[in-house]
Amino acid sequence: MKKFSIFSLARNALSHHEHWPEQWRSPAPKPAYDVVIIGAGGHGLATAYYLAALHGITNVAVLEKGWLGGGNTGRNTTVIRSNYLWDESAALYEHSLKLWEGLAQELNYNLMFSQRGVLNLIHNVHDLQEATRRVNANRLNAVDAELLSTEEVKAFCPILNTSPKTRYPIMGGTLQRRGGNARHDAVAWGYARAADARGVDIIQNCEVTGIDVEAGRVTGVQTTQGTIAAKKVGIVVAGHSSVLAAMAGFRLPIESHPLQALVSEPLKPVLHCVIMSNGVHVYVSQSDKGELVIGAGLDPPNSYSQRGGLHTIEDQMGAIVELIPIFSRVRMMRSWAGIVDVCPDASPIIGKTPVEGLFINGGWGTGGFKATPGSGWVLAHTIATGEPHPLNAPFALDRFTSGALIDEHAAAAVAH
Amino acid sequence: MRFRLKEGGRIDRAQRLRFTFNGRSYEGYAGDTLASALIASGTHLTSRSFKYHRPRGILTAGAEEPSALVQLGEGARTEPNLRATQVELYDGLTAAGVNAWPSANCDLAAWTGRLAPLFPAGFYYKTFLWPASFWKSLYEPAIRRMAGLGRAPEAPDPDSYDKMNIHCDVLVVGGGPAGISAALAAGEAGARVMLVDDEATLGGALVGLRHRVDGVDGAAWAQAAAGRLAAMEEVRVLTRTTLFGYYDHNSLSAFERRTDHLGPGAPAGTSRQRLWNIKAGRVVLATGAHERPLVFADNDRPGILLASAAQRYLNQYAALPGERAVLFTNNDAAYEVAHDIVEAGGTVGAVVDCRPEPAAPLAPALKEAGVALHTGSAIAATHGTKRVRSVTVAKLDGDGGLSGEQYRIFCDSVLVSGGWNPAVHLFSQSAGKLTYEEARGIFLPGTATQALEVAGAANGSFGLAACLAEGAAIGARAAEAAGFGDGTPPPAPPVEAPEPGAITPYWLAPGLKPLGHGKAKHMVDHQDDVTAADIRLAAREGFRSVEHVKRYTTVGMGTDQGKTANVNGLAILADALGKTVPEVGFTTYRPPYTPVTFGALAGRDTGALMDPVRRTAMHVWHEAAGTVFEPVGQWHRPWWYPKRRDDKHAAVARECRAVREAAGILDASTLGKIDIKGPDATTLLDMVYTNAFSTLKVGRVRYGLMCGDDGMVFDDGTTARLGENHYLMTTTTGNAAHVLEWLEEWLQTEWPELKVYCTSVTEQWATVALAGPRARDVLAALAPEMALDAHSFPFMSVKEGVVAGVNARVFRISFTGELSFEINVPWSHGRRLWDALMEAGAEHGITPYGTEAMHVLRAERGFIIVGQETDGTTTPHDLGMDWIVSKKKADFLGKRAWNREDSRREDRKQLVGILTDDPKKVLPEGTQLVDKRGQPPIPMIGHVTSSYASPTLGRSIALALVKGGRARKGETIYAAPETGFLPCKITEPVFYDSEGAKRDG
């Protein structure tokens, strides 16, 4: 891997940028691999990277039906935080946040990880109770968290309308200063480049059409580019987890929904943190390009089409204009949808499946992006060792049988 | 207005308008756009580009404009990133180009352009990595300052917005010749038609051309057609309205600008913009086409514009693009532009045609007029900084390179035409698939997936006669499909217009140096400064998917969504990859077609109307009493009633004491009420509640817990059996709608055989809870006919009778622990009941109490609030409410879940009481509980769910969920960490009257 730096840019400028190498190869699939990862999104690529970087397993293929990073990795609103209520979630997301903090240097790829602070707004007494509970829990779990008064909220983000006359007045907020955003595409590209450099084959336009199982053990996958044998297989396909599980003969307690997001036209810097409000149901940040990045709740119908309805956006725009009235004359430039797989407890499934050698990572609902490094890290550990890491053990599929749910509905920053 | 022709155009020369642009004063005419008025004054430089701050001018004359972006107006009404080509001029308009400081003319950030070799596509992914700490403190803030185009306003928006929902048989999008024909055909057949166009007047391309229809000037024909449409009763024409989104089931949305063109003259009280949500039976897309620029070296200098734009500025606005123009083209149609300019008295220095042997019909006439024709040639360089001053024309070698022969041609404008791209954006949004036509190098609508057809230029039919005929045929067909007419189109009017002629697709003109060498930029995306070299770089670096290239280079990601850039970029990428254009594929068009204000999308749903405020029948009384309200769901509930200088604490204490010692009244109207009727009503209740309702006698009331199928409590309330097959269920205030949906979901999906109706009656009954030892005395005065003694009206029963002269249902239930009656009267009598109770209770010290006192009173008595003592992970057993879980019923929701391993854990969190060692300390609700003091991380054993200063006990009390808490009573634990590890003890969760002695008074 040729190192990226200002010096390499300057050197290449002299040769008119005509000698940059490919950031990753586009190899044809080999007949067999030690590990096949299905899905070249951030999570799948991170899994492959950590398998190679930390576990010495480099005979790995990542199969992607479209183009790498083209699913939810390239469609989310890039919010990163770890201020989750439950111990299990806080541990997983905080591990992920710690990985984010050194990731750009580790991958030698500027992910534009920006710890500008995530501010969750409080609009009523119930919100305040939940916020107090979460901030106290975060602090006891050694996750940074602050409870802010209305005045402190105003000081941190002056463009918010903190007037008591609004429909749902802002009664305060919680702040995680280490939270923020990253450039989502760069995360996929950075992991792809680093994994490729360690020998991982990333095979795009290669759709998995079947999973081969013999005597309860996975032996490989059928793809649009032929049969690929594998000792171990990981399913990491946000939006289609149930489809892949069905190929291997088991069911998942997952519902799939479209989730929309949108950006405004680029503006000079006006919003310096991430704002999230469960009460009026919207979240917003400003990207380094200047666009306001806005998301909200799911489109209710179950669907695999990456399309939503305008009414969902109309609702969230009412909320945005109410929270930040100066955005009324700003314009929506582009909107889109991704498909999110939602578990009954709004927590992911990471671990073993009923098929030996077959592992799954999915069901992240609306919030998987922030977990990308941690998720790949624990799944790589699970695939390499055959057993879950303590961080992902609670997120096993069998929790839906045992009842040991990690119910983030109550604790979610935005209701699911 | 140096470049304004003495006559002609479709402007109103009687109305001179003054305006200011980039600090300079200008004049224009009514009917001008900002762009046309600037061009008429000789100004092409408007703004600076996104990345290199290169001088940028006006490229187009319409919605596809990528580069002439302006900040319109000042103060609260300022608006960023508007396209100068679509801003209609009004007197007093002020605007400035975006992304330039101090001005577009002299921009201090232009140094970025000089360092351009260091800033190719994606440079930021490769640098700013060292030292890591500089990212947050230095690099990112600098990048953010450089990024962005215009500025958001600094004050709230003074204008209002609204929305309309509408159905039509036929929706025609685009008011050009094809759209007008379609609307006329469908309208004459009698269908309900909507015609939507984003310009100020109908006519589309006709307005910028000298073509004739039906023997008259095309624009005049369009005006006459507009008149005919206006006369049709079922036809609605919306101009200045952009159809921006095509969603499923023929749902489409449009954005109407109602007063923007009036500037400060906009009438007060009129909404500024309007969102139209349209349900269409059939859709006719007549969205036209966008001319495609050619990509050549330094093709972005001000003064370089699309040929069709120059033609429109000439014919519609009577403005010449400059003193001397050069036309660069690959097609016959563009010759007409040069011809129009010459006819109008302007000068065309040369026509440069990349085709070796073009046979444009107008070529001889141009030659005759003295226009030089350079065939098999391309513009290899342009010169001038803030305005093009000359071009270098070079002979092509037929193999992608230059032959060596060069000419320098002086000019102050370059007109560019690379052919036309059908505007397939909405078709693509509708989930239709595009096909590629090699011969003309265009994407065309393929198979539609919704009830739509595409007419005219959007369908690749560029000739005027074809547009009119196709529009009429499709319009008539759409009307017939909707049940109007027989599908026969009216005869198309005769036209006088040239045919589009021949074209040879041409994607990239070579420069004087190899691509990417030297300073010249072959600009593909004029807004985001994406060059042909950038696209090749992306391909070189392994970004092979068109989506990757879009994201890596940002081509097509600007406010114009690449209307002028995408197809060129795609063809250059295909060439770099050695593939064909269709093999590379196309990015998905995403709504909106052009940007839409947040204000229009929000409409009236802001401020008080953001979410409806629900108020009870007694609300006005509460307001007059100076009540502090608490938002609970959509409701405003009295929180507490301050008296004189009471603070919250004093008011709540007074209200609590009144209930414990005399009588209090609470407005309980907001609790959800569901009327459940039918022969299977009892079966339904037995399934959704954990306890049995089949054993409940008529006239009696039972408290129930409702659990999800995961076994977790999600609502509670009392249900009264009013008749054999008739119940009244109450729910929590916030959950009322959810509970009704829950019942309906089960009835409609799992138990459709049950004969039950569930009806929300929350707003049919006003409810007052009358509580306290004197409650019976107060009620007796108002209901003399009703036997109220504990024997005739026992706890947990219901009576119907007259209270305060109104037919009422009275429930003997209690949420405070005191003797209590919940009196329900028809909503409209709520205030009357409230007043009567206040009057009758005066001698008993009756006191209204709010939700805060209610919470304190119920917590003293150990009653839970769902959503406070529960959080979706709490079972009835965790709450110590095993008594309410039937052991006899065969099945009910939640039962199966309790057999799961996790439900039987010994260390589940259980409801307990908490008393702080210091009785004055009131723990914040949500405080965590730990076993030991120390430094985080510290394991948590539970959390405080409710916590109050109890006036009755004279100390603080709290409820909490604690792991294995029921077995730990008496133990000391700590509240942490914000409270600083306060010691407290685990107790029973009932602090007052644990025997229930008070409930009968």
- The answer to whether the CB atoms of B607 and A204 lie below 8 A apart is no
Query: What's the pLDDT at B1?
Result: 86
Query: What's the pLDDT at A409?
Result: 78
Straight-line distance from the first to the last Cα atom of chain B, in angstroms, rounded to the nearest whole number: 91
Place of tokens 């000698």: A19
Chain A nearest CA to B593, separation (Å): 8
- The answer to whether the CB atoms of A134 and B926 lie below 8 A apart is yes
Mean pLDDT to the nearest integer, B966-989: 95
How many whole angstroms separate alpha carbon B785 and alpha carbon B2? 94
Q: Shortest CB distance from A167 goes to which of B118, B610, B868? A: B610
Q: Shortest CB distance from B152 goes to which of A13, A137, A327? A: A327
What are the Cα distances from residue B181, in Å, to A149, B178, B192? 61, 5, 15
Go through the domains of chain B in sequence order and give each one's CATH number.
12-123 (3.10.20.440), 161-289+422-496 (3.50.50.60), 619-669+766-857 (3.30.1360.120), 672-760 (3.30.70.1400), 905-1001 (2.40.30.110)
How many whole angstroms separate alpha carbon B817 and alpha carbon B824? 20
Chain B residue numbers with beta carbons less than 8 Å from the beta carbon of A412 are: none
Which of B128, B129, B252, B940 is best to mutate for the A interface (most A CBs within 10 A)? B129
Q: Shortest CB distance from A132 goes to which of B145, B156, B924? A: B924
- The answer to whether the CB atoms of B542 and A325 lie below 8 A apart is no
Query: CB count, 10 Å around CB of A211?
Result: 23
Q: Which class for B439: exposed (0-12), middle (13-18), buried (19 or more C-beta within 10 A)?
A: exposed
Place of tokens 């009932």: B990
Cβ–Cβ < 8 Å for A175, A117: yes
- The answer to whether the CB atoms of B591 and A109 lie below 8 A apart is no
Chain A nearest CA to B40, separation (Å): 29
Chain B residue numbers with beta carbons less than 8 Å from the beta carbon of A190 are: 125
Segment B450-488, tens digit of pLDDT: 999 999 999 999 999 999 999 999 999 999 999 999 999
Chain B nearest CA to A275, separation (Å): 17
Does the pLDDT of residue B648 top 90, yes or no?
yes
Does the pLDDT of residue B810 top 80, yes or no?
yes
How many whole angstroms separate alpha carbon A234 and alpha carbon A376? 11
Q: What is the ipTM of this complex?
A: 0.97
Query: Mean pLDDT over all residues of chain B?
Result: 96
Chain A residue numbers with beta carbons less than 8 Å from the beta carbon of B897 are: 403
Model confidence at B413, pLDDT cuts 50, 70, 90, reads very high
How many whole angstroms separate alpha carbon A352 and alpha carbon A398? 9
State the DSSP code for B489: P
- Tokens encoding A416: 């699911």
Q: Which class for A376: exposed (0-12), middle (13-18), buried (19 or more C-beta within 10 A)?
A: buried
- The answer to whether the CB atoms of A335 and B597 lie below 8 A apart is no
- The answer to whether the CB atoms of A330 and B597 lie below 8 A apart is yes
Segment B276-298, tens digit of pLDDT: 999 999 999 999 999 999 999 99
Chain A residue numbers with beta carbons less than 8 Å from the beta carbon of B977 are: 136, 139-140
Query: What's the pLDDT at A97?
Result: 98
Backbone angles phi, psi at B454, to 5 degrees: -115, 135
- The answer to whether the CB atoms of B605 and A4 lie below 8 A apart is no
pLDDT by residue for chain A (416 residues), tens digit each?
889 999 999 999 999 999 999 999 999 999 999 999 999 999 999 999 999 999 999 999 999 999 999 999 999 999 999 999 999 999 999 999 999 999 999 999 999 999 999 999 999 999 999 999 999 999 999 999 999 999 999 999 999 999 999 999 999 999 999 999 999 999 999 999 999 999 999 999 999 999 999 999 999 999 999 999 999 999 999 999 999 999 999 999 999 999 999 999 999 999 999 999 988 889 999 999 999 999 988 999 999 998 999 999 999 999 999 999 999 999 999 999 999 999 999 999 999 999 999 999 999 999 999 999 999 999 999 999 999 999 999 999 999 999 999 998 754 433 32
DSSP bridge partners of B299: none
Which of A105, A321, A400, A405 is best to mutate for the B interface (most B CBs within 10 A)? A321
How many whole angstroms separate alpha carbon A172 and alpha carbon A152? 8
- Tokens encoding B710: 């995961």
Query: What's the pLDDT at A416?
Result: 28
Mean pLDDT to the nearest integer, B919-925: 97
Cβ–Cβ < 8 Å for B307, B313: no
- Tokens encoding B433: 């698939």
DSSP bridge partners of B664: B771, B847
Chain A residue numbers with beta carbons less than 8 Å from the beta carbon of B159 are: 328
Q: Which amino acid is at A264?
A: S
Chain B nearest CA to A167, separation (Å): 5
Chain B residue numbers with beta carbons less than 8 Å from the beta carbon of A311 are: 277
- Which of A139, A28, A271, A70 has its CA nearest to residue B940? A139
- The answer to whether the CB atoms of A5 and B78 lie below 8 A apart is no
Mean pLDDT to the nearest integer, B678-698: 97
- The answer to whether the CB atoms of B153 and A402 lie below 8 A apart is no
CA atoms within 13 A on the CB side of B183: 35
Cβ–Cβ < 8 Å for B275, B601: yes
- The answer to whether the CB atoms of A401 and B136 lie below 8 A apart is no
- The answer to whether the CB atoms of B632 and A25 lie below 8 A apart is no
Q: Shortest CB distance from B597 goes to which of A68, A112, A331? A: A331
Does the pLDDT of residue B543 top 50, yes or no?
yes
How many whole angstroms separate alpha carbon B552 and alpha carbon A129? 44
- Which of B862, B820, B881, B869 has its CA nearest to residue B993? B862
Query: CB count, 10 Å around CB of B91?
Result: 16
How many whole angstroms separate alpha carbon A302 and alpha carbon B133? 44
- Write out the H or E segment, with its range, that includes residue A130: helix A125-140
Chain B residue numbers with beta carbons less than 8 Å from the beta carbon of A128 are: 925-926
Chain B residue numbers with beta carbons less than 8 Å from the beta carbon of A105 are: 129-130, 132
- The answer to whether the CB atoms of B976 and A136 lie below 8 A apart is yes
Instruction: Kindly tell me the sign of the dihedral angle through the C-alpha atoms of B473, B478, B479, B481.
Output: positive
Query: What's the pLDDT at A410?
Result: 58
Which of A121, A132, A331, A405 is best to mutate for the B interface (most B CBs within 10 A)? A331
Chain A residue numbers with beta carbons less than 8 Å from the beta carbon of B873 are: 405, 407, 410
Chain A residue numbers with beta carbons less than 8 Å from the beta carbon of B517 are: 16
Q: Shortest CB distance from B925 goes to which of A109, A132, A185? A: A132
Dihedral, CA atoms, B793, B796, B797, B801, nearest 10 degrees?
A: 70
How many whole angstroms separate alpha carbon B130 and alpha carbon B128? 6
User: Residue B421: which residues within 8 A CB-CB, separation 6 or more?
Assistant: B289, B290, B291, B292, B442, B443, B563, B567
Straight-line distance from the first to the last Cα atom of chain A, in angstroms, rounded to the nearest whole number: 41
- Write out the H or E segment, with its range, that includes residue B667: strand B664-667
Query: What's the pLDDT at A414?
Result: 34
Q: Shortest CB distance from A129 goes to which of B135, B153, B925? A: B925
What is the SS3 assignment for B755?
coil
Mean pLDDT to the nearest integer, B239-248: 98
- The answer to whether the CB atoms of B940 and A140 lie below 8 A apart is yes
Chain B residue numbers with beta carbons less than 8 Å from the beta carbon of A142 are: 936-937
- How many residue pairs bridge chain A and chain B with CB atoms within 8 Å of each other? 337
| Residue A266: closest C-alpha in chain B | B148
Helices and strands (DSSP H and E) totals, chain B = 24, 51
Q: Tell me how far the alpha carbon of residue A58 is from its chain's centroid.
A: 24
DSSP bridge partners of B716: B705
Place of tokens 């770089």: B537
- The answer to whether the CB atoms of B129 and A110 lie below 8 A apart is yes
- The answer to whether the CB atoms of B900 and A401 lie below 8 A apart is yes
Q: Shortest CB distance from B937 goes to which of A6, A136, A141? A: A141
- The answer to whether the CB atoms of A167 and B143 lie below 8 A apart is no
Query: CB count, 10 Å around CB of A55?
Result: 15
Chain A nearest CA to B851, separation (Å): 11
Does the pLDDT of residue B131 top 50, yes or no?
yes
Q: Shortest CB distance from B124 goes to which of A110, A310, A407? A: A110
Chain A residue numbers with beta carbons less than 8 Å from the beta carbon of B126 are: 4-5, 8-9, 109-110
- The answer to whether the CB atoms of A267 and B153 lie below 8 A apart is no
Model confidence at B114, pLDDT cuts 50, 70, 90, reads confident
Cβ–Cβ < 8 Å for A339, A256: yes
Packing angle, helices B546-553 and B566-577, rounded to 10: 120
Does the pLDDT of residue B587 top 90, yes or no?
no
Backbone angles phi, psi at B432, to 5 degrees: -80, 150
